[in-house]
Amino acid sequence: MAGWKIAVLPGDGVGQEVTPEAVRVLTTVGKATGVGFEFEQGIVGGAAIDAHGTPLPPATFDLCRKANAILFGAVGGPKWDHLIPDQRPERGLLILRKELDLFANLRPATCFPMLVDASPLKRSVVEGTDLMVVRELTGGLYFGEPRGVEEDADGHRRAINTMAYTEREIERVARVGFDVARKRKKRLTSVDKANVLVVSQLWREVLVRVSKEFPDVTLDHVLVDNCAMALVGRPTQFDTIVTENMFGDILSDEAAILAGSMGMLPSASLGGAVGLYEPVHGSAPDIAGQGIANPIAAIFSAAMLLRYSLNMVQDADRVDAAVLRVLEQGYRTGDIASPGTKRAGTKEMGDLIVRAVEEQY
Ligand code: NAD
């Protein structure tokens, strides 16, 4: 049966290894439900620079635009580190987010009971952590103008990035934040730096205004430096966090410590007509090519794709449950292994999860 068109962009490094496992999981869901998935591969990032001289070839962009959803791996690696930011693999992803208007990035971070010991933090700190970071994705420092490097007459260089937000940009991500919080514990924490940045002062003002539309959600404000401490000190105090692009980038990586590993963290980028789903982690050059990367972040991302783009909520729940089942059985990739657990590589973990998904139907 012809069905949902999924653009698959594995990218570089471990992106090439974990994305196929997520595709296998979706294929399994397709077989079990009779829902058709058409997967079409696109080239992006460093691989695209090597093949076409650009990190986001027009054919890949076209494929994404016409798809119902995008499953993304990771981009980047040492081979392309010498390039200037505008030519690097990561630029391909930034353009994709911007062009598809994917302004809201949802990053859940959960400390699952069986992985409490995978976190370097004390059990008493991480146990019960279940939070969602809503990161603004198409504004702020990563896109603001002016940007670039200028040189004065004496050859001294000055580099500029600009943090800028319009009220409209803040309003729309704020609404996503409130909406997400409303479906969770109805507590929204807005993270800013309003004691120093005028951008943050506007951010806070708009958040307060939008909060009037969501009287059932409690809003509080935390400064980003304080939030960075609280995330590893008292993470259970948070439910939903909404913040600007760079703060969200940094804080959600910090949240990896709570979940045990970067290899556990999925994300959904929403806003425009096509959603993009990808692990929070990068191409992990230190372990790429060894078949040991954790595919769970990619598989959880596929579950988010089912949930948010295809409205297959029960199937998304089944995939999540299947992953937990395999973890309960004691299987671990190296990044989340602890004494007494059974070691699995990327493919083996994929096999186990595919089997567990089949058992859910
Ligand atoms: P990274 O996320 O690739 O790796 C950080 C650490 O986490 C490494 O020790 C790595 O081995 C580990 N890790 C990551 N994914 C894992 C997985 N699935 N299983 C087990 N361990 C995993 O971050 P980095 O090393 O700072 O960046 C490497 C490259 O990736 C850089 O070129 C960077 O620009 C790029 N990057 C891309 C994205 C993206 O594509 N969205 C995001 C972040 C970084």
Query: Mean pLDDT per segment of 10 residues, for the chain of length 361 residues?
Result: 88 98 98 97 97 96 98 97 91 93 96 91 95 96 93 96 97 96 95 98 98 98 98 96 96 89 94 95 97 98 96 96 97 94 97 98 95
**Which is the closest atom of ligand 1 to the Cα of 253?**
2
With a 6 Å cutoff on the Cβ, whether 14 touches ligand 1 is yes
pLDDT attached to residue 1: 52
pLDDT attached to residue 256: 83
Please work out whether the CB of residue 75 comes within 6 Å of at least one atom of ligand 1: yes
Q: Kindly list the structural domains of the chain, giving each domain's residue range(s) and its CATH number in brackets, ordered by start.
A: 1-103+260-361 (3.40.718.10), 120-258 (3.40.718.10)
Predicted confidence at residue 255, as pLDDT, reads: 86
239 is catalytic: no
Helices 198-211 and 167-183, axial angle in degrees (round to 10): 50
Ligand 1 proximity of 281 Cβ (cutoff 6 Å) = yes
C-alpha to C-alpha distance for 233 and 126, rounded to whole angstroms: 9
Q: Is 93 in the pocket of ligand 1 (CB under 6 A)?
A: yes
CA of 252 to the centre of ligand 1 (A): 13
Q: Is the CB of 284 under 6 A from ligand 1?
A: yes
Instruction: From the candidates 179, 253, 317, 351, give the one annotated as an active-site residue.
Output: 253
Is 50 a known active-site residue? no
**Ligand 1 contacts CB of residue 44 (under 6 A):** no
From the CA of 286, give the closest atom in ligand 1.
Answer: 11
249 part of the active site: yes
Alpha-carbon torsion angle 25, 27, 33, 34, nearest 10? 180
Whether 117 is catalytic: no
CA of 360 to the centre of ligand 1 (A): 31
Active site residue 62: no
Distance CA 102, CA 96 (A): 8
Q: In whole angstroms, what is the distance from residue 47 CA to residue 18 CA?
A: 16
From the CB of 292, is ligand 1 less than 6 Å away? no
- The rounded Å distance from CA 202 to ligand 1 centre is 33
Cα 282 to averaged position of ligand 1 atoms, centre (Å): 3
